[in-house]
Amino acid sequence: MNNLKLNIFLLALALLAPAVLYPVFLAKVLCFALFACAFNLLLGFVGLLSFGHAAFLGTGGYITGYLMINSGLTPEIAILLGTLAGAALGAIFGKLAVKREGIYFAMVTLALAQLVFFIYLQAPFTNGEDGMQGVPRGHAFGALDLSDNLVMYYFVLAIFVFGYWLINRTVHSPFGQILKAIRDNEDRATSLGYDVNRYKWIAFVISAALAALAGSTKTLVFQLASLTDVHWHMSGEVILMTLVGGVGTIFGPVLGAGFIVTMQNYLSGGELGNYIHIIMGVVFVVCVLSFRSGIVGQLIKFKRNNFS
């Protein structure tokens, strides 16, 4: 099927969407979609389950927020620096974590993320439980006034498209082929002469950087960076988004993020607000038990069985 046509159609949909839906909500969906895509790059294409991705999301958010409040930098520079900070943290995490595999890899990332969480909880510049409030959105490139929600949305969309394109490009490059080879059979990749740990590490850093990019952008959208973004719940949520959408598919995490964020949004306002975690848990269980390849994975299967 011609993916290009589909992508153009989706982009057109994204460009028109703010006419119908609230732009800040859409921007939130895009931020989490980028976060989930970044996570999926590791889980879906290298087979590494990181349980500490919230640390990168939060780091990007806090660094960008801090710079926006305390320096006269324009938003795109602040986002760039937030992303670099996330990448640097990812480089350290990655170096330590790729030495181990499977459950130990997940535990190392979780432990490191908890360390980072505690630092943000105690460091004075984050304001602890209050979060970093009132982050100014500023003017992108010194000209675009981001305080207008619509402008903000298109700015976020541009960032998302860039991130999505980068992931797509990475996956379909020779480098991506090697990653998939590692995922499918690590020993064979080693025997072919590839330095497996190095490839894993690079993928980890890219994933961390993109997660931080999502966090930085999210801080600008909500004008707030809070502990929720670094808490391990967030690391769990991103796994849920990826699994529901379809792990190992390019578009799955986007759909998964959209699904989960929409669900949270509608449930928190209604009578079911108290049961939000129960409902999400049920969704997770149903997803894992009955359609393990996620929404997009299932659609692809359906198409393959019936239309070709």
Residues that bind other proteins (CB under 8 A): 9, 16-17, 19-20, 22, 24-25, 28, 121, 127-131, 133-134, 147, 149, 222-224, 226, 228-229, 268-269, 273-274
Minimum distance from residue 26 beta carbon to other proteins (Å): 11
- SS3 at position 201: helix
- Closer CB to other proteins, 28 or 53, in the complex: 28
- Closer CB to other proteins, 133 or 177, in the complex: 133
d(CA 61, CA 59): 5
Rg (CA), the chain: 19
- Closer CB to other proteins, 83 or 226, in the complex: 226
Minimum distance from residue 78 beta carbon to other proteins (Å): 18
Residues in CB range of 169: below 8 A, 6 or more apart: none
Beta bridge partners of 224: 133
Minimum distance from residue 57 beta carbon to other proteins (Å): 12
d(CA 61, CA 58): 5
Minimum distance from residue 253 beta carbon to other proteins (Å): 21
- Closer CB to other proteins, 130 or 184, in the complex: 130
- Closer CB to other proteins, 162 or 275, in the complex: 275
Residue 19's alpha-carbon distances to 54, 130, 211, 239, 249, in angstroms, are 31, 33, 28, 30, 29
Of the candidates 2, 1, 8, 3, the residue with the CA atom closest to the CA atom of residue 161: 8
Residues in CB range of 13: below 8 A, 6 or more apart: none
d(CA 243, CA 281): 13
Minimum distance from residue 276 beta carbon to other proteins (Å): 9
Minimum distance from residue 67 beta carbon to other proteins (Å): 18
Residue 161 one-letter amino acid: V
The answer to whether 57 and 231 have CB atoms below 8 angstroms apart is no
Minimum distance from residue 13 beta carbon to other proteins (Å): 8
Which residue reads 């976020």 in tokens?
156
Minimum distance from residue 22 beta carbon to other proteins (Å): 5
Please give the helix or strand (H or E) that residue 140 lies within, else none. Answer: strand 139-140
Which residue reads 């980890």 in tokens?
204
Q: Which residues of 221-237 are buried (b: 16+ CB within 10 A; e: fewer)?
A: bbbbbbbebbbbebbbb
- Closer CB to other proteins, 101 or 130, in the complex: 130
- Closer CB to other proteins, 19 or 289, in the complex: 19
- Closer CB to other proteins, 165 or 275, in the complex: 275
